[in-house]
C-alpha cells in the first residue's frame, strides 16, 4: 500500500509594505532606477548590490503588485492610444500639420511586443518586425491607379 503525500498549494504571497514603498519610489523617479528606489524604500544596499532588483521583479508578490498598478485593461488602452500617436509639424512658410508620429508609435509597438513576450528588445535577434503603414496612400493611389 502506497501513501500519497499531498502538498498544500502555496497561496500567492501578498506584496509587502517594503515592496509597495519601493514601487512608489520607483514611480516617483519615473521608473528609471529600481535599485535606487529599493534603497530609498528601505532595502539594504548590500541586498540591492547582489542582484536584489533582478530577484525582486521575479517574485510573485512583485508581479501581483505590478498587476495592481498596471492592470492589463489599462495597458491595452494606453498601447492602443500610443499606436495612434501624432505630432505637430511646424513650418515658417506653411500651416502647422498634424502627422503620424512613427517614432512614438514604434516605441509603443515595441513595448507591447515585449509585454506579450514576442520581442526580446535586443537587436540582432531572431525576431524580425515588418511594419506596414496602411494610413498613408501610396503614389499610385494618389495618381488614380
**pLDDT for position 119:** 66
d(C-alpha 142, C-alpha 145), whole Å: 7
For residues 50 and 97, the answer to whether their CB atoms sit within 8 Å is no
Q: Is 127 helix (H, G, I), strand (E, B) or coil?
A: coil
Is residue 73 pLDDT above 90, yes or no?
Answer: no
Q: Which helix (H) or strand (E) holds 75?
A: helix 72-82
Half-sphere exposure of 27 (CA within 13 A, CB side): 10
Grid cell at residue 26: 520607483
Residues 6 or more apart in contact with residue 145 via CB below 8 angstroms: none
d(C-alpha 36, C-alpha 28), whole Å: 11
Q: Is 135 helix (H, G, I), strand (E, B) or coil?
A: coil
Residues 6 or more apart in contact with residue 121 via CB below 8 angstroms: 110, 114
Q: What is the mean pLDDT of residues 31-53?
A: 92
- Fold classification of 13-69 is Arc Repressor Mutant, subunit A (1.10.10)
**pLDDT for position 94:** 93
Q: What is the percent of the chain with per-residue pLDDT over 70, rounded to a whole number?
A: 72
Q: What is the percent of the chain with per-residue pLDDT over 90, rounded to a whole number?
A: 39
Residue 133: pLDDT band with limits 50, 70, 90: low
Amino acid at each position: 500500500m502506497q501513501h500519497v503525500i499531498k502538498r498544500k498549494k502555496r497561496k500567492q504571497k501578498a506584496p509587502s509594505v517594503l515592496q509597495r514603498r519601493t514601487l512608489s519610489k520607483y514611480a516617483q523617479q519615473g521608473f528609471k532606477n529600481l535599485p535606487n528606489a529599493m534603497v530609498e524604500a528601505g532595502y539594504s544596499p548590500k541586498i540591492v548590490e547582489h542582484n536584489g532588483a533582478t530577484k525582486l521583479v521575479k517574485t510573485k508578490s512583485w508581479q501581483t503588485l505590478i498587476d495592481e498598478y498596471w492592470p492589463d485593461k489599462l495597458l491595452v488602452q494606453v498601447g492602443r492610444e500610443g499606436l495612434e500617436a501624432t505630432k505637430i509639424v511646424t513650418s515658417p512658410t506653411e500651416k502647422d500639420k498634424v502627422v503620424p508620429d512613427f517614432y512614438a508609435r514604434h516605441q509603443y509597438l515595441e513595448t507591447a511586443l515585449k509585454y506579450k513576450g514576442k520581442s526580446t528588445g535586443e537587436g540582432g535577434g531572431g525576431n524580425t518586425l515588418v511594419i506596414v503603414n496602411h494610413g498613408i496612400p501610396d503614389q499610385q493611389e494618389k495618381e488614380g491607379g
